[in-house]
Copies of this chain bind each other. A is one copy, B any other.
Amino acid sequence: MKTISQNHVTMTDVARHLGISKTTVSHALSGKRPINAKLRAEILSTIEELGFRPNFAARIMNTRRTGLIGLLVENLKNPHTTALLEIFSKELERYSLQTVLATTENMDRGRELIAKFSEGMVDGILNFLPGLEPDEAKQLARGVPCVTYLRHAEAPLVLDYSTGLLNALSYLRELGHRKIAFVSIGKRAGSCPVDPCLDVYLQWEFCPHDPSLIFTLHEGTVAGGLEIAEAVFSSSATAVFTGNDAVAAGLYHWAHNHGIRIPDRLSIVGGDNTEMSQQMFPPLTTLDLPVERLALHTVHVLLAAIIPEETLPEPVTIIPELVIRNSTAPIGR
């Protein structure tokens, strides 16, 4: 009598139980060739009876498809990231694909993870690591389709933040503002990368070119906004572009604490139209980042590389739209 360590029921057990071949059992399950209806029913009920479950490892060994997509992100602290993640996950689920999530702030670990993913663990890779270039990511992926967010070469997704920023600045100017401050977020905080934004500001035809109106922040967080709030409010600025909503929230917080009403002394423009921007008081004028469009385009570029029937989306340029709410007002209101 054998000791049975694991009660694995295999396809062979099912076949033997019915006195048929496992070829037939396999085909009954996959539907890849016609099976006598009655036999098929018997197979299905035997599977039920014996509690057979097809083995993942054996299946992927043959099909070379795991139904898994690797997702590489720095962390989940940024609401933009989790919003993207949710949309991906939902969209991939429509294709019966699951997401393998890896978080790392270490680029070398990021490289290792791509290598690990591409040993056959996943069918495709989505790279969100800002420190890992598309070319290198692709090379590490060794033939496994790999798409880098906002920087992939196929059907490029261009986020033209600059034009959005210019629109915001023009709007402030139309309201009469001439002293428009700018918050430069050094470490790229969700929306505005490294800082091309600052260049756009500096090259704007009406740029005040006053160094005391430029505020630099390492992290685009509420705490960051609080840090510079006093300086911003005591500067000569009548309006400010904050780079993102969290920084704007920091300014709000400081203002409320000091009995300053927005936009009385300062008009404020946020940067990514996060959910919080509507909850703030007054509701924040900000640039809208269409997260869903961004996410769907990216995931479909990947899907096109994985699923033969899927077609590559059209290349697209997205200009963040200015959402005017109540944190901005004509000067001297």
The residues of B that contact A60 with a CB separation of less than 8 Å are 56-57
Number of copies: 2
Q: A86-B103, A256-B281 are in contact. Are A56 and B121 (CB under 8 A)?
A: yes
Cβ of A36 under 8 Å from chain B: no
Within 8 A of B (CB), among A1-44: 6-7
Q: Let me know if A249 and B102 touch, CB within 8 A.
A: no
Q: Let me know if B118 and A90 touch, CB within 8 A.
A: no
Q: A58-B61, A98-B101 are in contact. Are A86 and B75 (CB under 8 A)?
A: yes
User: How big is chain A's contact interface, by range?
Assistant: 35 or more
Q: Which residue of B lies closest to A275 (CB)?
A: B222
CA–CA, A83 and B278, complex, Å: 22
User: Which 8 residue pairs are nearest across A and B when measured between Cβ atoms?
Assistant: A56-B120, A256-B281, A57-B61, A76-B86, A56-B121, A89-B103, A57-B60, A82-B82
Which chain A residues have a beta carbon within 8 Å of chain B's beta carbons? 6-7, 51, 53-58, 60-61, 64, 66, 68, 71, 75-77, 82-83, 85-86, 89-90, 93, 98-104, 113, 115, 118-121, 142-143, 222, 249-250, 252-253, 256-257, 275-276, 278-279, 281
